[in-house]
């Protein structure tokens, strides 16, 4: 094989292109020292059990001790998980992840007594204590949220058990990632000239966006077939995770797994169903897009592996440095401090593990903890889609940066519901800048293709997965079994509805799509991509139109963390996701891209 058809080893990646691991721990030995010390601190947490009602000074001391524990646990887990994510063949890193997960589980279990004891103190007494000890006022929203959840908080013994089962149920996700990233082998794809090309998690997206249709087809088939070969294992593993969701919902006395997942952040289930209903109503927009894409590609039948195919043969390359420049240009309205922070993260502070290597986990993500950089793992591929992915993950990282800089530890982890707003906001801003400044038709087509690829993932794939996820949980709640055939069959039906008459596909290979998304192990995560992209475009529009105070409102949104409820934080920023209107407006943006793409390609 030539060099272009292989994936480099981890050792071949230049140090300046790797994440800044030494900023977290200088060595594994230092990691272990911190681990041992933190384990002792976790054991000391039991000294507070039964004493939180002794007075405001004791309660405050407990909070400070708990925050110190999780500050250390967070750094420990970040170092382990990042090390494993960039090289899943690293057995030492795999061991660190296991230890980090176990430590996190022990940390959660060690403070499980706290919420029942705080509830027993009562609202009236806590209000008096906050007056007597002003530092406790920091936790006012925490207390309010705790009493809101009171009906679902169980006894100290039950809460301890729920904390203890966190580790084994987290392990099933790790198993899925290990199987997908380390153990699955993919047969080589083939180019139209017969050359073999290696297929891996780090380059599958790049292969599917190749202009060579034979390469796209064989890569897509290879990828799907490897998952199909282990469909029963993936199905059994995911069923365990979903049973865990059902178990926790029932133990905490929720009506459903969906209600349990959304209640955690005070989101009514109507937000979920508004999205699904609006998505189904707007499926004809996707059917029209498939028709436009089929005609632009000049193929008789559009296949799923054609969704990412380039519509022009002259798409410009976008090296990493150019991507950073365009991202900064698109975000110029955000101000000098914002841009300086972002540039430092892209270069000297080394937030980003940039390029693909063997063993690197699939996809891209932003990850960190208060006290670390907001790191990014990705596999940059010198094109508009990679640039968009970089912009997306930098949106997450800037959200983390401002939250960690502003909020105390108790509010330093923003919700998933808010996270996808910040990431898609970046993409909306950068995309608008490019369409305003690029005149070359081929470049404009490439930008719109990237936009459609992004919408395809967040406004087509993710709502489809959300519908499937809901139905799988409901089957378990009714006492029905989940098998690979059940999962694949329903997945196929939902995609058939979304594809309409314009798409042709292999049923088995489409049916296994659910297994290719480890998001399924994050309880009702995926629908929030679609609400996120809706909120993002609403907020970006305010800034792009020069609305007074819009930039400041957005920065305040980033700074808020979890210091208030997500829907309230978004309302203060200027968007109300309790109504279908932002989702409808995002579909209007999508339809406008289809219109322009049709005009450019016809």
Residues known to be catalytic: 393
CB atoms within 10 A of CB 61: 16
CA nearest neighbour of 503 among 221, 301, 305, 283:
301
Q: Which two tokens stand for residue 81?
A: 């998980």
Map residue 256 onto helix, strand or coil.
coil
Strands, sheet with 375-377, edge to edge from the N-terminal-most edge strand: 352-353, 375-377, 365-367
Structure tokens at 371: 């006290």
| Structure-block tokens of residue 398 | 């800037």
Percent helix / strand / coil, the chain, rounded to 5: 70, 5, 25
Work out the number of other CB atoms within 10 angstroms of the CB of residue 45.
Answer: 20
Q: What are the Cα distances from residue 230, in Å, to 341, 342, 382, 415, 552?
A: 44, 41, 32, 33, 50
Coil, helix or strand at residue 197: strand
Burial class (CB in 10 A: 0-12, 13-18, 19+), 240: middle
3-state secondary structure of 377: strand
The answer to whether the beta carbons of residues 118 and 140 sit under 8 Å apart is no
Which of these, 336, 331, 381, lies nearest to 356 by C-alpha position?
A: 381
Q: List C-alpha distances in Å: 367 to 23, 84, 330, 399, 500.
A: 14, 13, 23, 11, 37
């Amino acid at each position: 094989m030539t060099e272009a058809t292989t994936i480099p080893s981890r050792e071949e990646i230049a140090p300046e292109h790797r994440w800044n691991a030494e900023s977290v721990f200088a060595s594994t030995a230092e990691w272990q020292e911190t681990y041992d010390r933190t384990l002792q601190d976790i054991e000391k947490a039991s000294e507070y059990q039964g004493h939180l009602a002794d007075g405001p000074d004791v309660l405050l001391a407990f909070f400070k001790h708990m925050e110190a524990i999780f500050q250390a646990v967070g750094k420990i887990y970040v170092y382990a998980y990042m090390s494993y994510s960039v090289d899943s063949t690293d057995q030492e890193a795999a061991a660190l992840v296991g230890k980090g997960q176990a430590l996190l589980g022990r940390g959660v279990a060690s403070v499980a007594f706290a919420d029942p004891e705080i509830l027993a103190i009562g609202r009236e007494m806590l209000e008096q204590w906050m007056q007597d000890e002003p530092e406790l006022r920091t936790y006012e929203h925490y207390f309010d949220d705790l009493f809101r959840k009171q009906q679902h908080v169980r006894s100290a013994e039950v809460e301890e058990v729920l904390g203890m089962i966190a580790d084994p149920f987290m392990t099933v996700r790790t198993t899925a990632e290990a199987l997908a990233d380390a153990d699955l082998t993919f047969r080589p794809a083939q180019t139209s000239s017969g050359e073999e090309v290696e297929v891996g998690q780090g380059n599958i997206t790049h292969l599917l966006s190749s202009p060579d249709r034979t390469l796209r087809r064989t890569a897509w088939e290879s990828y799907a077939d490897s998952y199909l070969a282990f469909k029963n294992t993936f199905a059994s593993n995911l069923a365990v995770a979903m049973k865990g969701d059902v178990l926790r919902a029932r133990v905490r006395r929720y009506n459903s797994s969906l209600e349990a997942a959304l209640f955690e952040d005070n989101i009514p289930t109507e937000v979920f169903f508004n999205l699904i209903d609006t998505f189904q109503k707007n499926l004809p927009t996707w059917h029209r897009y498939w028709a436009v894409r089929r005609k632009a590609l000049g193929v008789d039948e559009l296949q799923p592996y054609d969704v990412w195919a380039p519509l022009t043969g002259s798409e410009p390359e976008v090296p990493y440095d150019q991507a950073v420049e365009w991202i900064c240009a698109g975000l110029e309205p955000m101000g000098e401090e914002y841009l300086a922070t972002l540039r430092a993260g892209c270069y000297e502070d080394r937030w980003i593990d940039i390029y693909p290597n063997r063993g690197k986990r699939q996809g891209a993500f932003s990850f960190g903890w208060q006290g670390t950089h907001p790191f990014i793992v990705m596999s940059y591929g010198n094109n508009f889609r990679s640039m968009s992915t970089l912009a997306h993950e930098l949106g997450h990282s800037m959200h983390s940066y401002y939250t960690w800089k502003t909020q105390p530890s108790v509010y330093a982890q923003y919700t998933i519901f808010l996270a996808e707003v910040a990431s898609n906001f970046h993409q909306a801003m950068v995309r608008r800048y490019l369409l305003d400044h690029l005149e070359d038709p081929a470049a404009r087509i490439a930008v719109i293709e990237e936009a459609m690829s992004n919408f395809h993932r967040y406004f087509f794939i993710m709502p489809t997965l959300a519908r499937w996820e809901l139905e799988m949980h409901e089957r378990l709640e009714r006492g029905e079994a989940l098998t690979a055939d059940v999962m694949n069959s329903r997945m196929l039906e939902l995609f058939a509805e979304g594809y309409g008459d314009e798409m042709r596909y292999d049923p088995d290979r489409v049916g296994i799509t659910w297994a290719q998304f480890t998001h399924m192990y994050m309880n009702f995560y995926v629908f929030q991509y679609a609400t996120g992209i809706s909120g993002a475009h609403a907020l970006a529009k305010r800034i792009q139109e020069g609305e007074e105070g819009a930039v400041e409102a957005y920065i305040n949104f980033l700074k808020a963390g979890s210091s208030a409820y997500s829907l309230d934080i978004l309302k203060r920023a200027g968007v109300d996701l309790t109504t279908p209107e932002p989702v409808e407006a995002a579909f209007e943006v999508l339809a406008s891209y289809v219109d322009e793409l049709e005009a450019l390609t016809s």
